[in-house]
Amino acid sequence: MRLIQTEYLQGSVDIPADKSIAHRSIMFGAIAEGETKVTNFLRAQDCLNTLQAFKDLGVPIYDEGETITITGVGAKGLSPAKQTIDVGNSGTALRLLLGILAGTTFETTLEGDASLNKRPMERMMIPLSQMGATITGAFHSEFPPITIQGTTQLTPIEYHMPIASAQVKSAILFAALQAEGMTKIIEKETSRNHTEEMIIQFGGKIQTDGKVIFLQGPQQLKGQEMTVPGDISSAAFFLVAGAIVPNSEIILKNVGINFTRTGIIDVMKQMGANIQIVDNDLMNQSATLIISSSSLNAATIKGAMIPRLIDELPVIALLATQAQGTTIIKDAQELKVKETNRIDATAQELQKMGANIQATQDGLVIQGKTALHGAKVSSHGDHRIGMMLQIAALISKEEVQLENPEVIAISYPNFFQDIKQLVKRTE
């Protein structure tokens, strides 16, 4: 596919719903008692796979167009699936489902697509096994398909997180909601806290003291009405586009600005980006963001900042190619076990376009500012790599061809249409 190029970008975009929250809205609605209504649900394949997974587990879910209605059955009310549950490309669905299924009385097998089945699940298997679930991977490995035999006698644990991971933390919390006693999680660095916030939103109780989380189980949640805010991970591509394409201004509406997710805004401001935050909705944790062309300087991105922008690092690397100086990204080993090895894939593909970028063991080193040129590039089957390369193509003077662009629909089905409606050319 030939990627879109432009002279400048002008206009507004309604950012699609937050994928992390959309997944969790189905999960919490399913294990709560009573009815949950979800509006602005993300109709991307990953989230639709989560919806289907809970239908397979016996949860009545009705898709009424603008609203999805879930009749919760409680964690104890899930039923055995008649077949292996296929979550497609969604690591979030697979990992968090393991935590929910840990407290069931039956055996369930979860699998994904070819990409997900290459991603290790040992980080989930260790704590959930300590809590009493029996978990095995394919051929007794740590890779999907994963089979879990739940138990009604889950034991609370004290668990020191080896890495900052919202997915591992969330899997433990879903199991802890079903365990008798106090579970304590000590985070290495603070990771996104959507699960903690939604436990409270659905009537549960959880305590946080710095990097330590306490949850007393078991707990019964209550169905809610909720609206999913826009996904800042999707907004990130337009934030970078607006900053690096000359003479541009983009307005992004309904963007989720939960503190654990706004690292990209902080880093871009640090690098000199012209970002305005307006119409701040405190209740919904969302706002309108306005980004315009910017003169950028290099930065060092590391430590506690990394979990707050882990999914945005490929497009931040692109941003750094247009910043003066040497940008260093470190402490980002988690990027190696995403849909692809995003450290290597980011470096390889941007190098094809002329970027001065090198992969390291835990991140990237980018020398800026460099002019990007045409090339044949690959998404590596990773939606975020594919979208990053489209943003890079906007500032190339020559044609950029992308292999496997269809993978972008995993999280952003209308991505190319939204880019096209911003594209402006001088007469």
Give the tens place of pLDDT for each residue, 84-125.
999 998 889 999 999 999 999 999 999 999 889 988 899 999
Average pLDDT over residues 250-271: 94
Tell me if 5 sits within 8 A of 372, measured CB to CB. no
**Domain's final residue, options 183, 205, 227:** 227
Q: What does residue 19 show for φ and ψ, rounded to 5 degrees?
A: -65, -40
Tally of CA atoms within 13 A in the half-sphere of 275 that contains its CB: 25
Average pLDDT over residues 39-62: 94
Rounded CA separation 320/311 (Å): 16
Residues at the binding site are 19-20, 24, 91, 119, 165, 167, 311, 338, 342, 384
Q: Are residues 246 and 350 in the same domain?
A: yes
Supply the range of the domain harboring residue 214: 19-227
How many C-beta atoms surround the C-beta of residue 276 within 10 A? 12
Q: Are residues 172 and 128 in the same domain?
A: yes
Cα 115-119-125 angle, rounded to 5 deg: 145
Q: Is the pLDDT of residue 77 over 60?
A: yes
Buried b (16+ CB within 10 A) or exposed e, 56-78: bbebebeeeeeebbbbbbebeeb
Q: Are residues 129 and 77 in the same domain?
A: yes
Q: Are residues 352 and 262 in the same domain?
A: yes
Q: Determine the pLDDT at residue 426.
A: 52
Q: Are residues 298 and 378 in the same domain?
A: yes
**Domain's final residue, options 227, 253, 283:** 227
Q: Determine the pLDDT at residue 295.
A: 97
Q: Are residues 203 and 327 in the same domain?
A: no
Q: Determine the pLDDT at residue 164.
A: 84
Q: Determine the pLDDT at residue 427.
A: 42
Rounded CA separation 322/353 (Å): 13
Q: Is the pLDDT of residue 288 over 70?
A: yes
- CATH of residue 66: 3.65.10.10
Residues at the binding site for phosphoenolpyruvate are 19, 91, 119, 167, 342, 384
Q: Are residues 300 and 344 in the same domain?
A: yes
Question: Which has more pLDDT, 44 or 273?
Answer: 273
Annotated catalytic sites, by residue?
311
Written as six digits, the tokens of 129 are 């096994």
Name the pTM for this structure.
Answer: 0.79
Average pLDDT over residues 3-11: 94
Rounded CA separation 421/309 (Å): 27
Rounded CA separation 138/346 (Å): 29
Question: Which has more pLDDT, 282 or 105?
Answer: 105
Q: Is the pLDDT of residue 280 over 90?
A: no
Q: Are residues 121 and 98 in the same domain?
A: yes
Nearest CA to 292 out of 237, 257, 245 is that of 245
CA distances from 206 to 139, 168, 176 (A): 37, 17, 11
**Domain's final residue, options 176, 197, 227:** 227
2 located within any domain: no
Rounded CA separation 35/60 (Å): 10
- Residue 425 pLDDT level (bands cut at 50, 70, 90): low
Q: Are residues 411 and 287 in the same domain?
A: yes
Tell me if 355 sits within 8 A of 314, measured CB to CB. no
In 264-363, DSSP assigns E strands to 274-281, 286-292, 296-297, 300-301, 323-329, 356-359
70 located within any domain: yes
Q: Are residues 404 and 306 in the same domain?
A: yes
- Residue 254 pLDDT level (bands cut at 50, 70, 90): confident
3 located within any domain: no
Q: Is the pLDDT of residue 81 over 60?
A: yes
Q: Which residue has the tokens 């106090």?
A: 182
Q: Determine the pLDDT at residue 138.
A: 82
91 located within any domain: yes
Residues at the binding site for 3-phosphoshikimate are 19-20, 24, 165, 167, 311, 338
Average pLDDT over residues 358-376: 95
Q: Is the pLDDT of residue 323 over 80?
A: yes
Q: Is the pLDDT of residue 11 over 70?
A: yes
Q: Determine the pLDDT at residue 336.
A: 78
Rounded CA separation 19/2 (Å): 27
Nearest CA to 176 out of 192, 203, 195, 202 is that of 195
208 located within any domain: yes
Q: Which residues pair with 39 in a beta bridge?
A: 67, 227
Written as six digits, the tokens of 233 are 């991970």
Question: Which has more pLDDT, 68 or 304?
Answer: 68
Q: Is the pLDDT of residue 415 over 50?
A: yes
Q: Are residues 194 and 274 in the same domain?
A: no
Rounded CA separation 13/131 (Å): 44
Report pLDDT digits (tens) over 219-249. Answer: 999 999 998 989 999 999 999 999 999 999 9
Q: Are residues 125 and 244 in the same domain?
A: no
187 located within any domain: yes
Written as six digits, the tokens of 384 are 């975020």
* For the chain, percent of residues with pLDDT exceeding 90: 82
Average pLDDT over residues 296-307: 95
In 187-246, DSSP assigns E strands to 207-209, 212-217, 225-227
* For the chain, percent of residues with pLDDT exceeding 70: 99
369 located within any domain: yes
Q: Determine the pLDDT at residue 344.
A: 94
1 located within any domain: no
Written as six digits, the tokens of 392 are 């890079």
Question: How many structural domains comprise the chain?
Answer: 2
